[in-house]
Amino acid sequence: MVGEWSGTITVKVLRVEPRSRLSLQKHLHRREEWLCLSGSAEVQVGRRTFRMKVGDWAKVQKNQLHRIYSEGGAEILEVSVGKFSEDDIIRMEDDYGRAGKGPIPPHRPWPARRTRPSSQDLPSRDRRRSEAAGPHPPAS
């Protein structure tokens, strides 16, 4: 791949199913290098998005957001350099409901995501109408 690694390394093969994507995530205690073994993938590393095909590689630094998506499926060799732990996954977005379920760095918490707008988000006339209607009665 890219070069020599010092320290502890962990090697995995990531299988990305067709039309699937991994979490938008970062790690505090390890960096990663990826090598595309089969298929192709759209990769986001930091603010950069690019396509990987067989033989292409990418580097992900500690604390750098990253994600992999594949339209037709892909296998990616992942080499993690540093302290490896599945607990070192900070998910910012996730298609399987796991976002925010990892160690949150105390110095950089991210804001909670609202799932639907509050009455404060409505234009003033709709807010007045909503407040005047009051709470809805329970369904019978």
- Degrees to nearest 5, angle at CA 115 with 136 and 112: 125
CB–CB of 25/66 below 8 Å? yes
Identity (one letter) of the amino acid at 19? R
Q: What is the pLDDT of residues 10-48, one digit of tens each?
A: 999 999 999 999 999 999 999 999 999 999 999 999 999
Which residue did the predictor score with more confidence, 125 or 78?
78
What residue ranges define each of the domains in the chain, with the CATH number in brackets? Answer: 9-93 (2.60.120.10)
CB–CB of 75/39 below 8 Å? yes
Q: What's the whole-model pTM score?
A: 0.66
Q: Please give the average per-residue pLDDT across 116-138, as a whole number.
A: 45
pLDDT > 50? residue 101: yes
Q: What is the pLDDT of residues 126-136, one digit of tens each?
A: 444 444 444 44
Helix, strand, coil share of the chain (percent; to 5): 10, 40, 50
Q: Hey, is 106 helix, strand or coil? A: coil
Backbone angles phi, psi at 54, to 5 degrees: -50, 130
